[in-house]
Amino acid sequence: MRYLDMMEQQAARMQKRDLLVLANLEGDMRPPGDELLDMRAVLRHLEDNANSLSNGRHSITFHNDDSLTVAGSGD
């Protein structure tokens, strides 16, 4: 019975921690930036990271409009 109690305590602790993380993220909400982002560069960065994480098991490629930009924050 002791192990079940420990599992229940750990599950409750993890739920509280997740709620605290979510509250911190929501509390730090900043308005969207007005910087124009070059989405080609953003997608190229994502593509490089995804292919690196895949370790050769997958080939990930994005096809997009060369003039694609969005307003946002580069952070």
**Shared-domain flag, residues 7 and 42:** no
Same domain, 23 and 51: no
Quick check: 75 pLDDT over 70?
no
Read off the DSSP letter of residue 57: S
Q: Average model confidence (pLDDT) for the chain?
A: 79
pLDDT tens digits along 39-58: 888 888 999 999 898 888 98
Question: Cβ neighbours of residue 71 under 8 Å, at least 6 residues apart?
Answer: 32, 33, 34, 35, 36, 37
Shared-domain flag, residues 26 and 3:
yes
What is the number of other CB atoms lying within 10 angstroms of the CB of residue 44? 13
Same domain membership, residue 38 and residue 23: no
Domain that holds residue 41: 32-75
Residue 31 has pLDDT above 70, yes or no: no
Counting the structural domains of the chain, the total is 2
Kindly report the pTM of this predicted structure: 0.50
Regarding whether 41 and 22 lie in a shared domain, the answer is: no
From residue 52, give the alpha-carbon distance in Å to each of 43, 48, 55.
14, 6, 5
Confidence of residue 29 (pLDDT cuts 50, 70, 90): low
Give the angle 48-58-46 at the CA atoms, nearest 5°. 25
**16 and 39 together in one domain:** no
